[in-house]
Amino acid sequence: MERKIRVLVAKPGLDGHDRGARVVAAALRDAGMEVIYTGLHQTPEMIVQTALQVDVDVVGLSIHSGAHMTLFPAVKKLLDENGMGDVLLHGGGIIPEEDITELQKMGIGHLFGPGTSSKELVDYIREEVERKRASAKKG
Amino acid sequence: MGKPGDTTRKEVRVSAQKPQSMKSLAAQYAKWREKVDALPARDAQFISVSGVEAPFLCTPEDVKDLDYERDLGFPGEYPFTRGVRSNMYRGRLWTMRQFSGFGTAKDTNRRYKFLLEKGQTGLSVAFDMPTIMGYDSDQSRARGEVGRCGVAISCLENMKTLFDGIPLNKVSTSMTINAPASILFAFYIAVGESQGVSSHNLTGTIQNDILKEYIAQKSFIFPPTPSIRIITDIMRFAKDHVPRWNTISISGYHIREAGSTAVQELAFTLADGFAYVEAGIKAGLDVDEFAPRLSFFFNSHLDFFEEIAKYRAARRIWARHMKKKYGAKKPESWLLRFHTQTAGCSLTAQQPENNIVRTAFQALSAVLGGTQSLHTNSMDETLGLPTEKAVKIALRTQQLVAHETGAANVIDPLAGSYYVESLTDRMEQEAEAYFEKIDKLGGVVAAIEKGFMQREIGDAAYKYQRQIEKKERIVVGLNEFVDENETIDIDILKIDPKVEDDQAGTLKMVRERRDGVAVKNALEDIRTACRDEGINLMPKILHAVKVEATLGEMIQVMREEFGEYREPPIF
């Protein structure tokens, strides 16, 4: 049997608004995933370090502070540099449409906005991880 | 309507008749309910925003224990349930105060002038995350965050720009700042001085409520003990030098935004307030010296009556505890004065124009609940910082409530409503039950360290989200009445990425022109005061500010001395 999907929920940057991150963490746990929550005020280095240590399939960043254009690319770059380019990096928060487009061009996954249901998020993660696992087997 | 004396006589007559009429009323009600319960009900959950089952109908039975003099009294009189001023909005409307800040001090100064020109009556500063967390704009941890969700203020020069052309003896200013509150307060005092305004004439508020940071908003720097020491230093300093300043704005707003219920917001906020009172008394201050300068800040969510009852209960609880438990003698110490902000977390990114309507209802309940000042959210706040157009509509909403609805004509107009009065009572009782629980855990700080409030709020937030997803709770435009393939066509405010460079330039200029030795000495004085509780930090910080030490430099010294707080991650 394949191992449970392992997700790192992370709060990068200086912002402490963690309602979204904690609700998401609880919802993913209830959907049967293994969830690790970093806690607050994490630098990209700290997040990637944790991701490496616990060997995650997915990293989800929660950002409400407007710092997404700096923090997402920084985490992406460090994941790639550490041989974790296949980890699904995605996230949520208050992120304008055109920034989402730009971030997705850099290889960042879906970015969920306010009002997203847990189901949408869970389905997305399952599909993406299955796809990645399948292509890894083939490869 | 008769004179106050007539009302009292009538009360006495009614209560004399109570036993007989109540009995028959209860019987009549039961009979009526039987009939009604046989009717089909709409398929819906009749619960409040807080998840509380709403009563079917309220009658005099629900308020049979209500004693007018004991529980309500007159506005401006103990226990202040009906309001803190005797003439309320007949004397003066609430202060219309829009929380605002973005980009550089110059950008925000322009927005303040726009708001004042449109009839706003007070200022409210939103700082960016680096400022809130005690970093200068040019420090590495600030990267990508400068000016993004508030204005970047690292030094006195920035603060002077922020209030350029705004005379500080003419406006009152509220500053949403907590861990570094002492420093921003000192910046403000120094700007006042540079404008020739004595600190004795400054009016405004620093949020300075660190307890709710550990509980909800999580913008803490130092551990609780030194944080509370800084707060008592500020209270002591302000009573002598800035006597018209509100030294703490004890905030439920963030507790609610983090997902709490209305009762949790009420209970945790007041428990924090009592903790500050106890800290002040323990530091050797007389309760009547500092309590009149404590103010409050509540959320206004969508459940209209629950919110109104919450404000009324808050005033009554505070008055009763301040008088009876803490022995405050001045009526000013018994008053719970509060600011309100409408609930950001109630707004939707879908069909954002609907947020104007949500905000209007929330503004009305704040006014019917007797708020002293109000911020109304802009419709676009789930998408970004407010544009000028959106913030103008938000301000106009308040002006409409003030001048068109009639809500400001009559004081506490919902008093006597069977529902509102019974709800007010119930919320008071439930808050008292929380106070007991917190006491049993060893007080507010111990309860925080055990994660008690954080868990209660997290659980409530998750429950709320589940209710929306299961459609037990309808949110218009989100899980019902959805526009398929909706495209959002409102403007979004963009922050110029140049802000970071501008700030770096200003800081470089300041560092070059200032007297390095004076700065070094001033920072060492702060260090000494950190180590010795007998030395008040405020005068040391004020001096450092004036020789142009930066926010980041001062906080760094304090971090070294006080340490940093780390929260155990829980979900």
Least confident of B10-14, B29-33, B98-102, B420-424: B10-14
Q: Locate the chain A residue with the closest alpha carbon to B218.
A: A16
Q: B135: which chain A residues are within 8 Å (Cβ-Cβ)?
A: 14
What are the residue boundaries of the structural domains of chain B, listed by start? 69-347+362-378+406-469
Q: Locate the chain B residue with the closest alpha carbon to A98.
A: B492
Given pLDDT bands bounded at 50, 70 and 90, which one contains residue B9?
Answer: very low
Tally A–B CB contacts below 8 A.
107
Given pLDDT bands bounded at 50, 70 and 90, which one contains residue B7?
Answer: very low
Given pLDDT bands bounded at 50, 70 and 90, which one contains residue A136?
Answer: confident
Distance of CA A100 to CAs A105, B347, B379, Å? 9, 21, 21
Given pLDDT bands bounded at 50, 70 and 90, which one contains residue B513?
Answer: very high
Cβ distance B384 to A18 less than 8 Å, yes or no, reads: no
Three-state secondary-structure class, residue B415: coil
Q: How far is A139 from chain B (nearest CA, A)?
A: 37
**pLDDT, mean of residues B345-363:** 97
Cβ distance A64 to B144 less than 8 Å, yes or no, reads: no
Distance of CA B351 to CAs A29, B172, B345, B383, B475, Å? 31, 35, 15, 11, 11
The answer to whether the beta carbons of residues B264 and B434 sit under 8 Å apart is: yes
CATH number 3.20.20.240 is the correct assignment for the domain at B69-347+362-378+406-469: yes
Cβ distance B129 to A13 less than 8 Å, yes or no, reads: yes
The C-alpha torsion from A85 through A91 and A94 to A100, rounded to 10°, is: 40
Given pLDDT bands bounded at 50, 70 and 90, which one contains residue A2?
Answer: confident
DSSP per-residue letters across B48-111: -TTSPBPPS---GGGGTT--IIIII--TTSTT-TT-SSSSHHHH-PPEE--EE--BSHHHHHHH
**What's the token pair of residue B87?**
């003439």
Three-state secondary-structure class, residue A85: coil
pLDDT in tens, A70-116: 999 999 999 999 999 999 999 999 998 899 999 999 999 999 999 99
| pLDDT surpassing 80 at residue B466 | yes
The answer to whether the beta carbons of residues B523 and B554 sit under 8 Å apart is: yes
Q: Which of B129, B384, B492 has its CB closest to that of A14?
A: B129
Q: Which of A16, A94, A96 has its CB closest to that of B217?
A: A16
- Give just the sign of the alpha carbon dihedral B8, B11, B15, B16: positive
Which pLDDT belongs to residue B494? 85
Cβ distance B458 to A22 less than 8 Å, yes or no, reads: yes
Given pLDDT bands bounded at 50, 70 and 90, which one contains residue B160?
Answer: very high
Q: What are phi and psi of B342, to 5 degrees?
A: -65, 160
**pLDDT, mean of residues B20-33:** 84
Which pLDDT belongs to residue B3? 41
Q: B259: which chain A residues are within 8 Å (Cβ-Cβ)?
A: 19, 23
Which pLDDT belongs to residue B1? 37
The answer to whether the beta carbons of residues B452 and B338 sit under 8 Å apart is: no
Q: How far is B144 from chain A (nearest CA, A)?
A: 5
pLDDT in tens, B238-281: 999 999 999 999 999 999 999 999 999 999 999 999 999 999 99
pLDDT in tens, B311-344: 999 999 999 999 999 999 999 999 999 999 999 9
Q: Which of B348, B469, B567 has its CB closest to that of A117?
A: B469
Which pLDDT belongs to residue B15? 47
**pLDDT, mean of residues A16-45:** 96
pLDDT in tens, B521-565: 999 999 999 999 999 999 999 999 999 999 999 999 999 999 999
Given pLDDT bands bounded at 50, 70 and 90, which one contains residue B354?
Answer: very high
Q: B220: which chain A residues are within 8 Å (Cβ-Cβ)?
A: 16
| pLDDT surpassing 70 at residue B16 | no
Cβ distance B145 to A17 less than 8 Å, yes or no, reads: no
CA B434 – CA B437 distance, rounded (Å) = 5
**pLDDT, mean of residues B229-240:** 97
Q: What is the DSSP letter of B151?
A: B
Q: Which of A26, A37, A114 has its CB closest to that of B382?
A: A114
Q: Locate the chain A residue with the closest alpha carbon to B383.
A: A94
Rg (CA), chain A: 14
Cβ distance A69 to B144 less than 8 Å, yes or no, reads: yes
List, in order of start, the domains of chain A with CATH numbers: 6-138 (3.40.50.280)
Mean of all residue pLDDT scores within chain B: 94
CA B387 – CA B397 distance, rounded (Å) = 16
Q: A26: which chain B residues are within 8 Å (Cβ-Cβ)?
A: 458, 462, 571
CA B454 – CA B433 distance, rounded (Å) = 17
pLDDT in tens, B423-453: 999 999 999 999 999 999 999 999 999 999 9
Q: Which of B129, B217, B478 has its CB closest to that of A65?
A: B129
The share of chain B scoring above pLDDT 70, in percent, equals 96
pLDDT in tens, B413-425: 999 999 999 999 9
